[in-house]
Amino acid sequence: MKRVPLSSSNKGKPSARKTLANLRTGLTYDDVLLVPRYSRIRSRHDVDTSTKLTPKIALNIPIISANMDTVTEGEMAVALAREGGIGIIHRFMSLDEQVAQVRRVKRTESIMIESPYALGLDAKLFDVRKMMREKNVGGILIIDGKGKLQGIITSRDLRFEEDLNAPVTSVMTKRKDLVVATWGKTSIDQAKKVMEDMKIEKLPLVDSKDRLRGLVTAKDILKRKEFPNATKDSKGRLRVGAAVGVRGDFLDRAKELADSDVDVLVLDIAHGHSDHAIDAIKKIKKTVSNIELIAGNIATPEGARDLIRAGADSIKVGVGSGSICITRIVTGSGVPQLTAISDCSRVAKDSGVTLIADGGIRNSGDITKSLVAGADSVMIGSLLAGTDESPGEIVFRGNQRYKVTRGMASMAARRDQLEREGRLKGIKGEMQNHGEEDLSDYVPEGVEAIVPYKGGAVSVIRQLEGGLRSGLSYCGASSLRELRSNGQFIRITDVGLVESKPHDVITEL
Ligand code: XMP
Q: Give the pLDDT score at 2.
A: 33
Lowest-confidence segment of 115-119, 282-286, 311-315, 363-367 by average pLDDT: 115-119
Q: Give the pLDDT score at 1.
A: 36
Ligand 1, atom 3: nearest CA belongs to which residue? Answer: 381
Q: Give the pLDDT score at 10.
A: 56
Identify the helix (H) or strand (E) that includes residue 503: none
The Cα–Cα gap between 114 and 162 comes to: 31
| Ligand 1 near 320 CB (within 6 A) | yes
User: What mean pLDDT comes out for the span 52-57?
Assistant: 98
3 state DSSP class of 166: coil
Ligand 1, atom 24: nearest CA belongs to which residue? Answer: 66
User: What mean pLDDT comes out for the span 284-302?
Assistant: 97
Q: Give the pLDDT score at 164.
A: 86
Ligand 1, atom 9: nearest CA belongs to which residue? Answer: 322
Q: Give the pLDDT score at 225.
A: 83
CB 297 within 8 A of CB 358: yes
CA nearest 408: which of 153, 103, 106, 66? 66
Q: Give the pLDDT score at 96.
A: 96
The Cα–Cα gap between 445 and 326 comes to: 5
Q: Give the pLDDT score at 171.
A: 92
The Cα–Cα gap between 340 and 131 comes to: 50
| Ligand 1 near 268 CB (within 6 A) | no
Ligand 1: centre distance to CA 407 (Å): 6
| Ligand 1 near 72 CB (within 6 A) | no
357 CA to centre of own chain:
13
CB 238 within 8 A of CB 232: yes
Ligand 1: centre distance to CA 302 (Å): 21
CA nearest 161: which of 122, 126, 137, 133? 126
CB 112 within 8 A of CB 216: yes
Q: Catalytic positions, please?
A: 325
Q: Give the pLDDT score at 227.
A: 92
Strands 400-406 and 448-452: antiparallel
Taking 70 as the threshold, does the pLDDT of residue 193 lie above it? yes
Taking 60 as the threshold, does the pLDDT of residue 7 lie above it? no
Q: Give the pLDDT score at 13.
A: 53
Q: Give the pLDDT score at 5.
A: 44
Q: What is the CA radius of gyration of the chain?
A: 26
pLDDT, tens digit (0-9, with 9 covering 90-100), for 465-499 = 999 999 999 999 999 999 999 999 999 999 999 99
User: What mean pLDDT comes out for the span 280-290?
Assistant: 96
| Ligand 1 near 296 CB (within 6 A) | no
Q: How confident is the model at residue 17 (pLDDT cuts 50, 70, 90)?
A: low
User: What mean pLDDT comes out for the span 71-85?
Assistant: 97
Confidence (pTM): 0.87
Ligand 1: centre distance to CA 184 (Å): 43
User: What mean pLDDT comes out for the span 281-300?
Assistant: 97
Taking 80 as the threshold, does the pLDDT of residue 233 lie above it? yes
Ligand 1: centre distance to CA 220 (Å): 35
Identify the helix (H) or strand (E) that includes residue 404: strand 400-406
The Cα–Cα gap between 378 and 363 comes to: 11
| Ligand 1 near 327 CB (within 6 A) | yes
| Ligand 1 near 445 CB (within 6 A) | yes
| Ligand 1 near 359 CB (within 6 A) | yes
Taking 60 as the threshold, does the pLDDT of residue 222 lie above it? yes
Number of H helices, E strands in the chain: 17, 23
Taking 90 as the threshold, does the pLDDT of residue 438 lie above it? no
User: What mean pLDDT comes out for the span 103-128?
Assistant: 90
CA nearest 321: which of 382, 251, 268, 279? 382
Q: Give the pLDDT score at 508.
A: 77
CA nearest 248: which of 381, 66, 437, 64? 437
Q: How confident is the model at residue 98 (pLDDT cuts 50, 70, 90)?
A: very high
* Domains along the sequence of the chain with CATH: 34-109+231-390+454-500 (3.20.20.70), 113-217 (3.10.580.10)
User: What mean pLDDT comes out for the span 324-336?
Assistant: 97
Ligand 1: centre distance to CA 490 (Å): 27
CB 66 within 8 A of CB 72: yes
Taking 50 as the threshold, does the pLDDT of residue 4 lie above it? no
The Cα–Cα gap between 38 and 123 comes to: 68
pLDDT, tens digit (0-9, with 9 covering 90-100), for 29-40 = 999 999 999 999
The Cα–Cα gap between 264 and 43 comes to: 34
As beta bridge partners, residue 449 has 405
Q: What is the mean pLDDT of the chain?
A: 92
Q: Give the pLDDT score at 3.
A: 39
Q: How confident is the model at residue 391 (pLDDT cuts 50, 70, 90)?
A: very high
Specify the ligand 1 atom closest to the Cα of 328.
15
CA nearest 53: which of 343, 378, 385? 378
CB 487 within 8 A of CB 372: yes
